[in-house]
Amino acid sequence: MEVSYSDPHEDLIADCKKGNRQAQFKLYKLYSKAMYNTALRIVIDADEAADVLQDAFIDAFKRLDSFRQESTFGLWMKQIVVNKSLSALRKRTVVFESISDIDDVADEEIEENNYSFQIEQVKEAINQLADGYRVVLSLYLLEGYDHEEIAHILKISENTSRTQFLRAKRKLLEILKN
C-alpha cells in the first residue's frame, strides 16, 4: 500500500515547476521563516543561517522537477535545509565524542529534576553547547528526527547519537543551573 501526501500548496508547486517567479516567491514566503529557524538552530550564526536558507531555496527550486510529492513540500524543503546546515557545520569540523568513554546516565535521573526555565534561557543555553551536542539535541528535540535518522544524516552510529543526546541534555541542565 503506497502512502500519498496531500500538499496544500500543490498548485503553487506546479506553477513553480513551470518557472513562475511569483509562485516561487510565494512559496519562499510561506516556508522561509520556519526554514531559517531550522538552519539557525543548527548553525547558530544568523548570517550563516541566512546563507544556508538562500542556498537551500536555490537548490530546491533548481531540483523542483525531482520533487515527486512523496512527502509534503515542507518536509522535503526541511531535509534540504538540514543537509545544507550540516554541510556548513562540517566546514567548521564538528567533533562528535566517541561512545567508548560513556559514563552512563539514566534518562530518568535528568527527567526527575523538575526545573523551570524561561524560553530565552534555554535558547541561550542550547547555543552554548558544543556543536556536536547542539546538532543532535536540535535534530532530536526540535526537528523531530529519531536516533536512527540522526545517525544516517550525521554518518554516526545510533549509539553515538543517543550518547550525544544524553550528554547534551546533561550539559544543558548544568548550564541552566548556573
Domain of 170, CATH number, reads 1.10.10.10
Q: What is the CA radius of gyration of the chain?
A: 18
Q: With bands split at pLDDT 50, 70 and 90, how would you rate the model's confidence at 111?
A: very low
Domain coverage including residue 34: 10-91
- Among residues 39, 69, 91, the one where a domain terminates is 91
| The residue type at 26 | K
Does 79 lie in the same domain as 17?
yes
We report the CATH number of the domain holding residue 17 as 1.10.1740.10
In a shared domain, residues 47 and 114:
no
Last residue of a domain, one of 47, 72, 91: 91
Are residue 103 and residue 166 in the same domain, yes or no?
yes
Distance CA 134, CA 35 (A): 17
Cβ neighbours of residue 88 under 8 Å, at least 6 residues apart? 42, 43, 48, 51, 52
Q: Say if 26 falls within a structural domain.
A: yes
In this prediction, residue 95 carries a pLDDT of 55
Same domain, 119 and 53: no
pLDDT given for residue 109 in this prediction: 46
pLDDT in tens, 40-80: 999 999 999 999 999 999 999 999 988 887 888 888 999 99
In this prediction, residue 99 carries a pLDDT of 52
- Regarding whether 123 and 63 lie in a shared domain, the answer is no
Give the residue-averaged pLDDT of 6-28: 88
15 and 55 belong to one structural domain = yes
Whether residue 23 is found in the same domain as residue 82: yes
Dihedral over Cα of 72, 59, 80, 53: its sign = negative
Is 163 found in the same domain as 140?
Answer: yes
Report if pTM > 0.85.
no
In a domain, 65, yes or no: yes
Q: How many domains does the chain have?
A: 2
Which one of 75, 91, 107 terminates a domain? 91
Above 60 in pLDDT, residue 152?
yes
8 A C-beta contact, residue 88 and residue 52: yes
